[in-house]
Amino acid sequence: MAILLIGTLDTKGAEIGFVRDLLLGQGLTVRVMDVGSIGEPTIRPDIGREEVFRAARTSAALVQAKRDRGQAVTLAAAGAATLALSMHAKGEVDGILSLGGSAGTTIGTAAMRALPYGVPKLMVSTLASGQVAPFVGVRDITMMHSVVDLCGLNRFSRMVLTRAAGAMAGMVRQPLPAPAAPELALVAASMFGVTTPCVDRARGLVEAAGFEVLVFHATGTGGRTMEAMIRDGLISGVLDITTTELADELVGGILSAGNERLTAAAIKRIPQVISVGALDMVNFGPRATVPERFKDRRFYQHNENVTLMRTTPEENDRLGKEIAEKASASGGPTLVLLPLRGVSAIDREDSSFWWPEANQALFQSIRNWVGPWVNVEEMDMHINDDAFAERAATWLTGAMGRHIK
């Protein structure tokens, strides 16, 4: 088993050397990559900074001469990612471990994000207890908090780094479960708590038709991950029941998946069912975090850490147009499925977010803007009704060449 160990050997040489020796003591092969750019490395690397910067189409001498730390980090990240991917393709990387502060975390996780899902990736970082989304992205990276700054070895850093080495050794040695049915095509589905009954019912039917379903929580990261997997060609069909992340992107909530949400399936020309799950809401944190400009809006306190804000007719009109345009751009079979009696568990008659005018604005905008070549079906039922889920599953499996019995 070969571990790629990445660090800035001018500032973290002692710590990298400590972890290297622990991994060697576990009987693992270790290749140390130096991504430093200022001082001389304090231990000898297996992959020097010259090779790293050459992979980024520059040289260590040029980087050092410019004395621009920001640019040096960016170039080191690019070079480390290129080399890591090349080494993995040659069978030289079974796991990747890095440690550092902001610069080291930026560089180490760039290399990790270049590698496929399933390759063990562990980042020991001073930033691991904060906002790590920019570092993790949509990959299976494990972030481990260093507790103390990685500036010399002490009782705390030795403890954390020893556990990190042990974790990496365990991850690379633990065999992955054999796929139960590797021939099954993958279907992606988007879900929120307020659309769970629909997605659960549809998932069961799609699985019964002979597909494997990956469900993504529509929390921003979930949507981005789903789109990335579709773009990577891993997904054969999509049950995009819960497009709520579009509302957060439009209005300014905390669970946006970016403006590329709802685009990958169209580009890859794979069958997709698009619905409007949870477009009645925009997500914020605790009530005190909701921007002042929204003070007069309708809210639902899901829990002390999650505040939901009802979308307005005007916002739904814009969301409908976005969905229609993105659906119309699809090169593959597409169904837009509309539940006329509510789009979430709290959007039904006598519930907190029931607002027929807002929903009608959404539905009418889709009708107005969708291309005539796109299938649009309206069902006089709630999104969580069994028949709605059954129609979504039946259409998708039929478009993928299987029929639910």
Residue 176 has what pLDDT?
85
Nearest CA-CA partner of 363 in 344, 339, 387, 347: 339
Which positions ≥6 away from 63 have C-beta within 8 Å?
A: 37, 53, 71, 72, 75
Same fold, 2-173 and 186-399: yes
Query: Domain coordinates of the chain in residue numbers?
Result: 2-173, 186-399
What mean pLDDT, rounded, does the chain reach?
95
pLDDT in tens, 85-133: 999 999 999 999 999 999 999 999 999 999 999 999 999 999 999 889 9
Integer Cα distance of 339 and 162 in angstroms: 54
Residues of the chain with pLDDT under 50: none
Nearest CA-CA partner of 261 in 283, 235, 240: 240
The CATH number of domain 186-399 is 3.20.20.70? no
Residue 66 has what pLDDT?
87
pLDDT in tens, 355-386: 999 999 999 999 999 999 999 999 999 999 99
Residue 405 has what pLDDT?
59
Phi/psi at 144 (nearest 5 deg)?
A: -120, 125
Q: Global pTM?
A: 0.85
Residue 180 has what pLDDT?
62
Integer Cα distance of 20 and 151 in angstroms: 17
User: What single string gives the DSSP state of each residue in 244-271?
Assistant: THHHHHHHT-S----TTTT-HHHHHT--
Give helix 196-208 / helix 386-399 axis angle, nearest 10°: 40
Pick the CATH number of 2-173 from 3.90.400.10, 3.90.1330.10, 3.40.50.12020, 3.40.640.10: 3.40.50.12020
Residue 69 has what pLDDT?
87
